[in-house]
Amino acid sequence: MNALTIKRRVVIPMRAGKVMAEFVSFDGDDSGKEHIAIYCEGKSPEKAPVPLVRLHSECLTGDVFGSGRCDCGEQLDEAIDLINEQGGYILYLRQEGRGIGLYAKLEAYALQDQGYDTYQANEMLMLPDDGRDFSVAAEMLKALDLTEIRLLTNNPDKASQLINNGILVKELVPTSVHVNKHNRQYLETKAKRKHHTIIFDTMNK
């Protein structure tokens, strides 16, 4: 993965002006994917000397349309709340469907409707069960001068990929789990097959 440099910083008032965020674009990524960093200064930045960072993989269905098949939309809202409070960054990574793209994710959903789990469905399509390479996130962090972070995630692979790419993850901050009858099996499968730290006894049915 090439080193990246900052291309542009632009302020965007989010949530009807209640959350002021800076959107940052980058030069140097040959993949052509338009990954974005979203920065909030935080209302009490002195309380969190090591910045909070969320790596969020794009999920059009969840992030934009509030799909109940996953919990991406709720997790994104939570991350915005936290960085607005504590200060920090969301790296919004254009890795729809864990890297397989939106159309393929819809194919995978159709297979899940026939009984396959979230990883088997990808494999049935001859696609990686999780094709995400987070080295680009490490390069985005370096371009932002962030080499020590607190990482908001339940996914151990995000932390290990960042560490392997030169980022010091000083703390793992768990993200909430938002369960419903449509996404329970998806969440359970992530915990079982990919060791996500998901605590089910706090989840509603």
Ligand X SMILES: Nc1nc2c(ncn2[C@@H]2O[C@H](COP(=O)(O)OP(=O)(O)OP(=O)(O)O)[C@@H](O)[C@H]2O)c(=O)[nH]1
Structure tokens at 65: 């349309």
State which of residues 35, 56, 150, 178 lies at the interface with ligand X (CB under 6 A).
Answer: 56
9 is an active site residue: no
129 is an active site residue: no
Sign of the CA dihedral running 58, 60, 66, 69: negative
Q: With CB under 6 A as the contact rule, which of the stretches 17-25, 30-38, 54-62, 163-171 interacts with ligand X?
A: 54-62
Note the residue count of the chain. 205
- Looking at residue 22, the DSSP 8-state letter turns out to be E
Ramachandran assignment for 25, one of left (phi > 0), alpha (psi -120 to 50 degrees), beta (any other):
beta
- In order, the DSSP letters of 149-194 are EEEE-S-HHHHHHHHHTT-EEEEEEPPP----TTTHHHHHHHHHHH
The contact pattern for ligand X, residues 151-180, with x = CB under 6 A and - = no contact, is --xxx--x----------------x-----
Check residue 70 for interaction with Zn ion (CB under 5 A).
yes
State which of residues 26, 42, 90, 98 lies at the interface with ligand X (CB under 6 A).
Answer: 98
Check residue 42 for interaction with ligand X (CB under 6 A).
no
> What is the closest distance, in whole angstroms, from the C-beta atom of residue 163 to ligand X in the complex?
15
Ranges within 101-130 binding Zn ion (CB under 5 A): none
Residue identified by tokens 């969440």 is 187
| Catalytic annotation, residues | 130, 132
Annotated binding site for Zn(2+): 59, 70, 72
